[in-house]
Amino acid sequence: MRALDPRLAVIPERLKGVSRVVVFCSGKGGVGKTLLSSLAALVAARRGARVGLLDLDFNGPSSHVVLGSAPPPREDRGVVPPEVAGVKLMSLALLAGEAPLPLRGADATNALIELLAVTRWGDLDLLVVDAPPGTGDELLDALRLLKRAETLVVTTPSKLSLAVVARLVRLLREVGAPVLGLVENMGRGGAEAAAAEWGVRYLGWVPYDPAIEEALGNPEKLLATQAAAKLEEALARAGVLKAR
């Protein structure tokens, strides 16, 4: 009989001090999920919450690019995430540097288990998770291991994105993952009607904001963008943020 991986028993201990886990999901890449999850962490930290951001997009980790330069994680009976603008950040990119991360199948699952087992978050009000795009094993593994996770779905107004998100919403329901709602990024289109059809709460839309590109890597500038203001409204509707 196959022995149980001892790391699986450690993960709940590492997350014991985390009050809430919200996983940002998308049916496909390129919809701005990483930007919105990183912005969400910054907005929550500005509201006074103790926040962590976990980048699980192993093949294209980029949360560190959004938040800006972070020192390497510190080793102390595990790995202690560095803090950027009040957000504790953990990503394989902080450990692997610029080396490519061609993880697939069992290797990706193993990396996920290891990251969750070694990371010491301490006490957090909110852990924001940037999930891998799509509906594959990576997302399913994350939801399986983050047992208390709620999900927030990101789409763009395009028909292509909405068609893929429809499958994602069905999958989340099948695996019993609570869906807080749908955020429409880069403009407003048909997502509100689609959300009503799927029985999912429409949380609002975030405009395409040209100021974002220049603000990347600068949390203060990011928080001053129109995109951050609109996302803050959506997160408040979802009940993710503390009341002012």
Quote the percentage of the chain above a pLDDT of 70: 95
What are the structural domains, with CATH classification, of the chain? 7-238 (3.40.50.300)
pLDDT in tens, 151-172: 999 999 999 999 999 999 999 9
- Among candidate residues 139, 197, 206, the one with its CA nearest the CA of residue 168: 139
pLDDT band at 108 (very low <50, low <70, confident <90, very high): confident
In three-state secondary structure terms, 42 is helix
The whole-model pTM stands at 0.95
E strand spans, 61-189: 74-75, 79-80, 83-84, 87-91, 126-130, 150-155, 179-185
pLDDT in tens, 174-232: 999 999 999 999 999 999 999 999 999 999 999 999 999 999 999 999 999 999 999 99
